Amino acid sequence: SLFSFSCFFFYFFFLMIRRPPRSTLFPYTTLFRSPLFNIALAMAHLADTSHLHYPRQTAIQIILRAIVEYPDLLAGDSAFETRVIKMTKGTVICKGGTGGIYTGILPSLGFGIALKIDDGNAKASEIAFLAILRSLGAIDDDRSEERRVGKECRSRWSPYH
């Protein structure tokens, strides 16, 4: 009947707009619940393709080689991601998203990284991402390039910039 259909539709609509718990990746929608752990796990699967079938392995390796060869096309020539890929000579591939989310892979270690700063501050995410890379040993001891990249991240915080 029309009444039962409208009740079902209203109930379904109510479920779609309710606020999800804070532990979800996208805080304003229930359609895409994805904790950071699952994102890091997905990134680790991209970093280590040995468990995948041959066609998928090949496709992922081609994409990763293209990103390393042309990092400017990933996010622009002055973007944080591009600077990190160039600084690490392709041993780290990362990509930022909305709300201060950064993901990355270290193919040599088979690691995936997912980082989110609660208030969504992208600059803080960049600095935290550099700290994670340093703790994993992905950044050389010669930190002149790291300091330059970090300084550029911090300089965007300046109210006079």
**Residues ≥6 apart with Cβ < 8 Å to 5:** none
- Give the pLDDT score at 118: 83
- Does position 27 have pLDDT exceeding 80, yes or no? no
Q: How confident is the model at residue 126 (pLDDT cuts 50, 70, 90)?
A: very high
Q: Is 65:71 a contact under the CB 8 Å cutoff?
A: no
- Give the pLDDT score at 16: 42
Q: What is the pLDDT of residues 59-100, one digit of tens each?
A: 999 999 999 999 999 999 999 999 999 999 999 999 998 878
- The pTM score is 0.68
